[in-house]
Amino acid sequence: MPTLDIPGGTIHYEQRGSGIPVVLTPGGMWGGYVHRVVATELAKDFRVITWDRRNTDGKSTIVIEGDQSEADIWSDDLATLIRFLGIAPCYVGEYAGCRTSPLLCLKYPALVKGLMLAWPSGGDGPVNHLPRTMFRPFIRAAIRRGMQGVVDLNFPAGRDAAADQPVGIDAYEQNPGNRDRLLAMAPLHFIRQMAYWEAFFNTSADLAVAGCRATDQEWASIKLPATVTAGADPIHPSDAARKIHSLLPNCEFHAPVISAEEWNGIFGTVPYPKVADLQGARIAPVWRDFIMRHEA
């Protein structure tokens, strides 16, 4: 199992294919396994790396600490992974949320050749909804029942389960040591850190992407080639993609590849990673075309 050491634990990653490097970051709180379809498709032409962010439903370590936003910490981990693999500059892709990859481009532009985003979250909808699922149930559990209460809520997989999205996944099956890490943690430390990370969401309704602290001016400073594909639902509204398109000086806009009707028929009904499979099948041709054209 390939891993990368980070302060406090390890990051798990996987590789497929060969050639031009492409690194894919999951959305929500999902592990890299949700990119199985898009990664497999792109690996027919490129070297594709998927990875599990810390504190998400994957094999990477739970590390509840840091003085930055959660997305900033993930972007730093991603920069470390790219350097470790020696693949800079590379293409980076992210769908559902899109909080991590833009910060990578902002902080480490030399590591990135092109930015590919899809289904970005923005506006009042995700800002009002997502913190209630990603942070508050676990803060409440830690206050009332200590860290056993957090474990009982299936943290971190439960960070998406609470969003009316069926999961049916044991959060500790992929990394059993994460359960022990949580149980050994001081509840007050966990509560303070989660509340701090939640604050970045609660204050982001006016920003381009929910939970991403980048201002409009910072987005406009990203000169890399980019493409953004719009969503068509309240958490990933098309307006969020349009705003990103208007801010990035070298960005292509792509209309939704999944209609609102299709999305409404699967979201909250079909479990992950099957929803991500559909997303991956639809976005793979868009991203392949983007990379091929810029490489040409």
Q: 266 lies in a domain?
A: yes
31: which 2 tokens?
């592990």
Which helix (H) or strand (E) element contains residue 116?
strand 112-120
Establish if 290 belongs to a structural domain. yes
Task: List residues bridging with 57 in a β-sheet.
Answer: 30
Amino acid, single-letter form, for residue 25: T
> Which tens digits make up the pLDDT trace of 187-210?
999 999 999 999 999 999 999 999
Question: CA 186 to CA 181: how far, in whole Å?
Answer: 10
Is 24 inside a domain boundary? yes
Judge whether 183 lies within some domain: no
What is the pTM for the complete model shown?
0.95
Residue 187 maps to a domain: no
CATH code (residue 278): 3.40.50.1820
User: Can you tell me the distance from the alpha carbon of 218 to that of 259, in angstroms, rounded to the nearest whole number?
Assistant: 31
Instruction: Tell me if 179 is assigned to some domain.
Output: no
Asked if 211 and 121 touch (Cβ cutoff 8 Å), the reply is yes
Q: Is residue 195 part of a domain?
A: no
Structural domain of 264: 3-123+208-295
Q: Give the position of tokens 């990673």.
A: 273
Assign 3-class secondary structure to 2-36: CEEEECCEEEEEEEECCCCEEEEECCCCECHHHHH
pLDDT at residue 262, rounded to an integer: 87
Closest Cα to residue 96, out of 116, 113, 76, 111?
A: 116
Average pLDDT, consecutive stretches of 10 residues, N- to C-terminus, the chain (296 residues): 91 98 94 95 98 94 97 98 98 96 98 98 94 94 97 87 54 91 98 98 97 98 98 94 98 95 80 84 98 97
pLDDT at 161: 55
Res 157: pLDDT: 85
Q: Which residues contact 107 (CB under 8 A, 6 or more apart)?
A: 72, 75, 76, 79
Q: Provide the domain count of the chain.
A: 1
Angle at Cα 41 formed by Cα 61 and Cα 16, nearest 5°? 45
For 211-231, the DSSP string reads T----HHHHHT--S-EEEE--
In a domain, 98, yes or no: yes
The token pair at 276 is 């991500």
Q: Using CA atoms, how far apart are residues 119 and 228, in angstroms rounded to an integer?
A: 8
